[in-house]
Amino acid sequence: MGYVLRTNNLSKRYGNQAVVNDLNMNIRSGDIYGFLGQNGAGKTTTLRMILGLIKPTAGEIELFGESLSGGRARAMERIGAIIEYPGFYLNLSAVENLEVHRRLMGMGNKEIMEEVLAMVGLLDARNQKVKNYSLGMKQRLGIARALLHHPELLVLDEPTNGLDPSGIKEIRQLFRDLARQRGITFIISSHLLSEVEQLATRVGIIHRGWLLEEIDYDTLQRKTRNYLEVMVDDDKKAAYVLEQKLGVSDYRIAGPGIVHLYDYLEQSDKVNLTLISHGVGVKQILLSGDSLEDYFLRLTGGESHA
């Protein structure tokens, strides 16, 4: 699978203050990339550099296999974006705002405007001036604008800001459908773990300008799921009993005398009884594990607003 976006040691400094440090981001085609970090971690600065709004102090950005410095215009034709806040010309209606976008993107097809407005549920309000829109409506219009030119990559900075819970659910579903049906790649930045958890297929965790981890969501889930920590006198014998007598295959020996068991989470008594009845000494059984939040906290050294 090809890479849509790669950064190589991307850095941004303001005087002595480093905002983004040697960031190496790898986003594959079709990914819904959750870019997770606290407020001020460097998410928006990174996204701004990707869009050419801020010039990096060092490093490179490669979009669609081409360096951003050499082929910015070509890359921007294939990207849709909302950065921080969807800004609009308030004196214009939704359709007129999209018309401005259509012109600046050099697009011919006018009909697409109504199609995207219908997609985000704004068709009935299309002739209303944007100054009368709520923040949620502006956010939807921002998404419509980002989709108008059939982008291959959508860069969305906190896209559910201002949306009510049902709106968040609808937009989330829209993103999933777009990823599935049109193969659009997403970068969605958020400081909300729940947001990333429900959408992302890949997660990048940024903290104080450093990309701490970039990981597939499935792997992350494996790392953060709950397990029974069984402390025994003989881990090999315990593994044999678990496999033969309880039919367990989802376990791992985490250390000498420590078995992590990912099944039977609600039946620790049965595990205990089975092990003891087959001659394995059980010292302790604990329900343990990391939630995504614990995992995030551990990575960021205990600081969290996420």
Partner 1 sequence: MLNVIYAELLKLRHSKIRWLVLLGALPANLVTLGAFLPRVTPDGTSAAIDIQDMFYRQGMFLIMMGPAIFALITAYIFAREYQERTINQLFSYPVSRVNILMAKLAVVFLQIVMTTVLSCASVFIVVFLMLLNNKVDVHMIWTGLKTNALICILSFGTIPVAAAVSMVGKNVIPTAVLGVFTTIVTVIGEIGHGRQNIMFPWLTPFWPVRDLAQGIADNDGPNPFAVPALSILSITFLAGLLYSIVYYSKHDVHSGS
| Residues at the interface with partner 1 (CB under 8 A) | 44, 48, 51-55, 72-77, 79, 81, 83-92, 96, 99-101, 103-106, 129, 145
Collapsed DSSP state (helix, strand, coil) of residue 177: helix
Least distance to partner 1 from the beta carbon of 154, Å?
12
The residue ranges of DSSP E strands in the chain, in sequence order, are: 3-14, 17-23, 26-28, 32-36, 58-63, 66-67, 79-82, 153-157, 185-190, 202-207, 210-216, 226-232, 251-255, 258-261, 282-289
Least distance to partner 1 from the beta carbon of 218, Å?
32
CB 2 within 8 A of CB 65: yes
CB 38 within 8 A of CB 196: no
With vertex at residue 285, the alpha carbon angle to CA 279 and CA 290, rounded to the nearest 5 degrees, is 140
Least distance to partner 1 from the beta carbon of 19, Å?
10
**How far is residue 183's CA from residue 29's CA, in Å, rounded to a whole number?**
8
Q: Cα(first)–Cα(last) distance of the chain, in Å?
A: 30
Least distance to partner 1 from the beta carbon of 129, Å?
7
Q: Between 51 and 168, whose beta carbon lies closer to partner 1?
A: 51
Least distance to partner 1 from the beta carbon of 16, Å?
17
Q: Between 44 and 274, whose beta carbon lies closer to partner 1?
A: 44
Q: Between 21 and 44, whose beta carbon lies closer to partner 1?
A: 44
Least distance to partner 1 from the beta carbon of 162, Å?
14
Q: Between 142 and 204, whose beta carbon lies closer to partner 1?
A: 142
Q: Between 95 and 232, whose beta carbon lies closer to partner 1?
A: 95
**How far is residue 126's CA from residue 37's CA, in Å, rounded to a whole number?**
35
Burial of 265 (0-12, 13-18, 19+ CB in 10 A): middle
**How far is residue 292's CA from residue 286's CA, in Å, rounded to a whole number?**
19
Collapsed DSSP state (helix, strand, coil) of residue 227: strand
Least distance to partner 1 from the beta carbon of 298, Å?
29
Least distance to partner 1 from the beta carbon of 13, Å?
12
Give the number of other Cβ atoms within 10 Å of residue 279's Cβ.
11
Q: Between 86 and 159, whose beta carbon lies closer to partner 1?
A: 86
Q: Between 105 and 215, whose beta carbon lies closer to partner 1?
A: 105
With vertex at residue 200, the alpha carbon angle to CA 229 and CA 49, rounded to the nearest 5 degrees, is 125
**How far is residue 265's CA from residue 74's CA, in Å, rounded to a whole number?**
52
Q: Between 141 and 231, whose beta carbon lies closer to partner 1?
A: 141
